[in-house]
Structure 1
Amino acid sequence: MKMRHIAVPITVALMGALTLAGCSSQSSNGSTPQPTGAPTAAGLADDIPTEEITTTVNEDLAAQLPADFGDTLTVAIDLSSPPARFIDEAGDPVGFNVDFTNLLTEKLGLEPKIENVPLAQIVPGLAAQRYDIAVNNLSRNPEREAQLDMVEYMQGSGGIAIPADNPNDVTEKTTSLCALHIGVLSGSYQESNTIPAINEECEAEGLDPVTFTAYGTNNEAILALGSGRVEAWIGNGTVAAYAAARNPEVFKSLTLENTWSHDNLGLPKGSELTEVVAEAFQELMDEGTYAQVLEKWGIENYALDQTSLTQTDVVQQ
């Protein structure tokens, strides 16, 4: 069965943010280093992998869908974050969450209808039953669990990207970043929480603090690292892993210590689809297509062996 391509609207502004390779709108709390001569790298949305990964329908699972469900699964995804979910130059949704969506709908004999929904609108949209499911790396918290059914489907982590030759001897430990100039995503958890926490540790150990530049997109931040304008980048671990897998001569990725977590699919609370989705996703894991998706995007170490409707213990690797 061939993969289906789902067209969604795309604005010029979004495409520009994903593909911008030169200048960027950014804020900084420290001076930006001059380029060091490090090799440049392709942007996160350039030269993306195009391997098609397919599965077959499980008729028994398809028969468990509600009788009046129809043949379309409406999926909320925030298409703004390579490599998980973004839009390619042709205007099509791509990324590992899009691949998972296609496999899940194929397994259930459905057609996917991907809705490009900003992250802040996904949970209320699911709660209002505007969407059947979100495939968007949702983390658990009490507020979300009160409104949603959640299904664990992969691991998550914080990540560090550094030059491949690691001239500053950066490790997974946060204090190895002290005194460095770091790139982050503007408005991210790393900007508001992680960097202040790192600087508290740096101060406690008598080390110089981190300085940083906040970029409008991860694409801009990774390109800044590749050209030597920052000395490291911190953010979602899958972004660092993907950048390093695509450009091993330019980047190395590390997992920020003690940040492993489990990411979840989200469905409306009490959805009739929750258990059948969990079973279908488990079959994708068991048959190997799930692993193929992660390998395609260079993030195979983010695999889980089992889905779960409840939070399971996280092992810090």
Structure 2
Amino acid sequence: MKHLLTGTAVAALLAVGLSACTNASTDPGATGGVDVPDASDQVDVATDQAAADLLPADIAKTGTIKVAMDASYPPFEMFAPDNKTIVGFDADFATAVAQKLGLKVELVNAGFDTILTGLAAGRYDLAESSFSITPERQQVVDFVTYLQGGAGIAVRPGNPEDLSMDPMVLCGHKIAAQKGTTQAIEQLPAIRQQCIDAGKEPVEPELFPSQNDAILALNSGRVDGMMADSTAISYQGALAGGKFELAPGDIYESRPTGIALPKDSPLRAAVAAAVTSLYDDGTVATLTKKWNIPDTNLAPNPGS
């Protein structure tokens, strides 16, 4: 099923493609102190016929939805030890949405910065890769809210610089982030300006092409902290055997997280109903427990 966008819209997607979440990689063989669920440990979900009745005829006939995600962002999406099977909260959630609709799911690994353009080109039916919902994205794709999330600060063990997510505490410190992320494009520049306005030494953003590079800079002491999604920091730090940890403080700028669909997709109503049903029947609570997702990530208005 294809829902193509105009050339202008595709160009806009390229401009915002990286700006919503961190695209984090970790060593797939490293599990640290985290008990990574087995790929076969699936949650069975019953079909919600009322939601399934909202499916477009072509999808109902095909019986499968193709969902894109970047399998390098634990605990949301990553490769199992076989290096082929995509696992994680988003992988399970996408599978559960399909089951609610009486469908099968095909999970497709794709580079984070290519997913939304691929969605626009009709290569996928949905995209679920921890996309923050931003006004820029909403101009070119539609979303169904299923989680929320915000940024945190990763620090070396013991937090030697005594950092927290209070922007004023970060003034004068070197803070790493991955290029193209919300943290790099919006949040760190905003914090830098807050420091300047308060008469303090500005925060010094250090931007890296990948999350692995940012983590290496933190672990080697080249930067004092690293800004990324708070839940991902906690999980990835545990995967890395405690080489870094989440600094104290509230998450920064919590935003809704959404499943992306092509603009005006006839599939949206069915997906929204499925998401609501997954919250109502307790499946979401089961999945968040399975993947150590905190309650702060639960969406206040799922399916919206």
**Alignment TM class, shorter chain as reference:** 0.7 to 0.9
* 1:183 paired residue among 171, 176, 181: 176
SS at 2:193 equivalent:
helix
Contact 1:87-1:94 within 8 A present in 2 as well: yes
Q: CA deviation at 1:144?
A: 3.4
Using a 3 Å threshold, how does the CA distance of structure 1 residues 288 and 254 change in structure 2: closer, same or farther? farther
Q: CA deviation at 1:257?
A: 5.8
Q: Which stretch shows the higher mean deviation, 218-227 or 282-291? A: 218-227
Contact 2:152-2:252 within 8 A present in 1 as well: no
Using a 3 Å threshold, how does the CA distance of structure 1 residues 188 and 270 change in structure 2: closer, same or farther? closer
* 2:228 paired residue among 228, 235, 238: 235
Q: In structure 1, what is the Cα distance between the partners aligned to 2:223 and 2:108?
A: 35
Q: CA deviation at 1:117?
A: 2.9
Map 1:14-25 → 2, pairs under 5 A: 18-19=26-27
SS at 1:284 equivalent:
helix
Q: Which stretch shows the higher mean deviation, 162-171 or 248-257? A: 248-257
1:14 is matched with none
Map 1:26-37 → 2, pairs under 5 A: none
* 1:97 paired residue among 86, 90, 96: 90
SS at 1:86 equivalent:
strand
Q: Percent identity?
A: 33
Using a 3 Å threshold, how does the CA distance of structure 1 residues 306 and 50 change in structure 2: closer, same or farther? farther
SS at 1:19 equivalent:
coil
Q: TM-score under structure 2 normalisation?
A: 0.75
2:43 is matched with 54
Contact 2:48-2:274 within 8 A present in 1 as well: no
2:285 is matched with 291
Using a 3 Å threshold, how does the CA distance of structure 1 residues 124 and 220 change in structure 2: closer, same or farther? closer
Using a 3 Å threshold, how does the CA distance of structure 1 residues 147 and 232 change in structure 2: closer, same or farther? closer
Question: What amino acid is aligned across from residue 76 of structure 2 in structure 1?
Answer: A
* 2:267 paired residue among 266, 270, 273: 273
Q: In structure 2, what is the Cα distance between the partners aligned to 1:161 and 1:79?
A: 21
Q: CA deviation at 1:155?
A: 0.3
Using a 3 Å threshold, how does the CA distance of structure 1 residues 96 and 257 change in structure 2: closer, same or farther? closer
Contact 1:100-1:293 within 8 A present in 2 as well: yes
Question: What amino acid is aligned across from residue 276 of structure 1 in structure 2?
Answer: A
Map 1:162-177 → 2, pairs under 5 A: 162-177=155-170
Using a 3 Å threshold, how does the CA distance of structure 1 residues 148 and 190 change in structure 2: closer, same or farther? closer
Q: In structure 2, what is the Cα distance between the partners aligned to 1:78 and 1:160?
A: 22
Q: CA deviation at 1:59?
A: 5.0
Q: In structure 1, what is the Cα distance between the partners aligned to 2:110 and 2:219?
A: 30
Q: Once superposed, what is the RMSD of the aligned Cα atoms?
A: 3.2
* 2:75 paired residue among 77, 80, 83: 83
1:65 and 2:55 are equivalent in the alignment: yes
SS at 1:50 equivalent:
coil
What is the aligned length? 273
Question: What amino acid is aligned across from residue 36 of structure 2 in structure 1?
Answer: I
Using a 3 Å threshold, how does the CA distance of structure 1 residues 187 and 47 change in structure 2: closer, same or farther? farther
Q: CA deviation at 1:97?
A: 1.1
2:187 is matched with 194
Question: What amino acid is aligned across from residue 179 of structure 2 in structure 1?
Answer: S
- Unpaired stretches in structure 2, ≥5 consecutive residues: 1-24
Question: What amino acid is aligned across from residue 173 of structure 1 in structure 2?
Answer: D
Using a 3 Å threshold, how does the CA distance of structure 1 residues 296 and 248 change in structure 2: closer, same or farther? farther
Q: In structure 2, what is the Cα distance between the partners aligned to 1:130 and 1:199?
A: 39
Q: Which stretch shows the higher mean deviation, 268-277 or 120-129? A: 120-129
- Unpaired stretches in structure 1, ≥5 consecutive residues: 1-16, 22-41, 310-317
Q: CA deviation at 1:249?
A: 8.7
1:264 and 2:258 are equivalent in the alignment: yes
